[in-house]
Amino acid sequence: MVSALSSLFPYFDRLARCSILYSLRPPEHDKLSGSEPEPIVAMLIIRDAQIKALDKAAEEVFLDYVAGDIERRWPGVFSDLGRDSARERIAAAYRRAKSYGLRRKPHVLWFIQLDFMLGQEYERFPGLEWAVKILRSELTPDTKVYRLERRFAKAGISMNKAAGIRAGARK
């Protein structure tokens, strides 16, 4: 059931946050006809608890996707940690990404991948204090990711290079 709903989540997200679904009949029609406007009837009511359940299901689907991505990219790291520990680490990195204002899936995935490439809670490592400063700033998430990518590139850290270093360390 979750996989069937996962393709609808972008639409559910927009729909669920609407408090009222408007009728198809425009209000101007009632003014022109002189009749009393018909009450707007909600066709679908999604309560907060249901929204939270849908959000939780979407989060689980995304975390499963991330776990598969990490396992494909760094099978040694994933197997060393074990599935449960790796999943916990992914969930912790996911929560940290959200706490820094990263909400879009590509941003969150990038953040979690860096956590596995550079080390757990890499943004707090000595010498990377600038990463926390950028992440905690009032910049937009796109700008945060862009600036972090630029700074990592200046430091000689790229996704490909870090992946190679990590893979080489596990041989």
Is 121 within a domain?
yes
21 part of a folded domain: no
Q: Is 4 within the bounds of a domain?
A: no
Q: Which two tokens stand for residue 49?
A: 């608890």
Q: Tell me, yes or no, whether 93 lies in a domain.
A: yes
Distance CA 7, CA 51 (A): 16
What is the full per-residue pLDDT of the chain (171 aa) written as tens digits? 444 444 445 544 444 444 334 444 455 555 555 666 566 666 788 888 999 999 999 999 999 999 999 999 989 888 899 989 999 999 999 999 999 999 999 999 999 999 998 889 989 888 888 999 999 999 999 999 999 999 988 887 765 544 443 433 333
Q: How far is CA 143 from the centre of its chain?
A: 16
Tokens of 76: 């040694």
The answer to whether position 58 is within a domain reads no
* CA–CA distance, 134 with 76 (Å, rounded to integer): 31
The number of domains in the chain is 1
For residue 164, what are the domain limits? Answer: 75-169
